[in-house]
């Protein structure tokens, strides 16, 4: 199973559901639909209405983040995994570079993963190195640390997806070479197998994915799908990525 996950970030109003309607219309008729899943993470304001609308369809709705405590607390503006699950979300991103920049620590991320899983959410755990770390050839050590400091053997690996998003690539149009990406995804799965034994959770790639460079990405067997940013805000661009992956 491959995954095509759209991260809308700070984008979308109720009528933006038209974008998902077009994606769903394509998906429902696509001969390859049994080979992949579609997940969209809109802002919190749209999760409930979108989740209700697509409840009996094949597009799943997720959250872009969650708070590191379970159920309720006195933290202003915080939204817990429990609250997210109760409005119909099935997935949540955890550890996106935007949130790490805003102060998410490994301890906070571990709590987020733990409570998300407790509330029956599947977790898309984001990891990635910045430009300086890449230049200093610290990519592998950074990724290993990000994984080992957060994920534990006790977590249900069947409900965890890891998304490799090199920070230097996000929104820049720059992407790793095929060789770099093959080595990096292979390394990530090796680290994950050291935790979960035998089988690794799915590993996705994210960072400037579009309908053209997907031709290169699809040649890398270790990649189990994609976390897509800007292109997911356009039904045409998102659909083109899927079409070109399977053509």
Give the pLDDT confidence of 109-138 residue by residue, as tens digits: 999 999 999 999 999 999 999 999 999 999
The encoded tokens of residue 196 equal: 């979960």
Residue from 47, 1, 11, 20 nearest 238 by CA: 20
Distance between CA 17 and CA 50 in Å, rounded?
7
Q: What is the pLDDT of residue 58?
A: 87
CATH of 2-246, one of 3.40.50.300, 3.50.70.10, 3.20.20.70, 3.40.50.2300: 3.20.20.70
Q: What is the pLDDT of residue 46?
A: 98
- The answer to whether residue 198 scores a pLDDT higher than 90 is no
Any catalytic annotation for residue 129? no
Assess contact for 82 and 115: CB atoms under 8 A.
Answer: yes
Q: What percent of the chain has pLDDT over 90?
A: 96
The encoded tokens of residue 145 equal: 């640390």
Indicate the domain borders of the chain.
2-246
Assess contact for 227 and 205: CB atoms under 8 A.
Answer: yes
User: What is the torsion angle, in degrees rounded to the nearest 10, for the CA atoms of residue 90, residue 96, residue 101 and residue 102?
Assistant: 0
- The answer to whether residue 63 scores a pLDDT higher than 90 is yes
- The answer to whether residue 242 scores a pLDDT higher than 90 is yes
Give the pLDDT confidence of 94-104 residue by residue, as tens digits: 999 999 999 99
Of 96, 129, 152, 215, which one is the catalytic site residue?
96
Residue 34, judged by CB atoms within 10 A of its CB (0-12, 13-18, 19+), counts as: exposed
- Structure confidence at residue 56 as a pLDDT band (50, 70, 90): confident
Kindly state the helix (H) or strand (E) to which residue 72 belongs, with its residue range: none
User: What is the arithmetic mean of pLDDT over 48-66?
Assistant: 96
User: What is the arithmetic mean of pLDDT over 24-43?
Assistant: 97
- The answer to whether residue 209 scores a pLDDT higher than 90 is yes
Of 165, 180, 182, 215, which one is the catalytic site residue?
165
Any catalytic annotation for residue 215? no
């Amino acid at each position: 199973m491959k995954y095509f996950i759209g991260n809308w970030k700070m984008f979308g109003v109720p009528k933006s559901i038209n974008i998902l309607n077009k994606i769903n219309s394509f998906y429902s008729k696509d001969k390859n639909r049994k080979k992949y899943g579609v997940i969209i993470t809109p802002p919190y304001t749209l999760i409930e209405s979108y989740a209700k609308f697509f409840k009996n369809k094949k597009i799943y709705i997720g959250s872009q983040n969650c708070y590191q405590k379970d159920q309720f607390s006195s933290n202003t503006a915080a939204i817990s995994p429990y609250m997210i699950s109760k409005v119909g979300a099935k997935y949540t991103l955890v550890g996106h570079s935007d949130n790490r920049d805003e102060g998410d620590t490994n301890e906070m991320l571990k709590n987020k993963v733990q409570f998300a899983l407790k509330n029956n959410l599947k977790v898309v755990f984001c990891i990635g190195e910045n430009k300086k770390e890449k230049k200093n050839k610290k990519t592998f050590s950074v990724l290993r640390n990000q994984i080992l400091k957060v994920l534990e053997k006790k977590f249900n690996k069947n409900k965890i997806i890891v998304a490799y998003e090199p920070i230097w690539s996000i929104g820049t149009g720059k992407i790793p070479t095929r060789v770099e990406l093959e080595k990096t995804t292979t390394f990530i799965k090796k680290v994950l197998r050291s935790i979960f034994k035998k089988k690794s959770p799915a590993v996705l790639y994210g960072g400037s994915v579009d309908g053209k460079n997907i031709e290169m990405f699809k040649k890398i067997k270790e990649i189990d799908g994609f976390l897509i940013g800007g292109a997911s805000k356009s039904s045409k661009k998102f659909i083109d990525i899927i079409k070109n992956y399977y053509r």
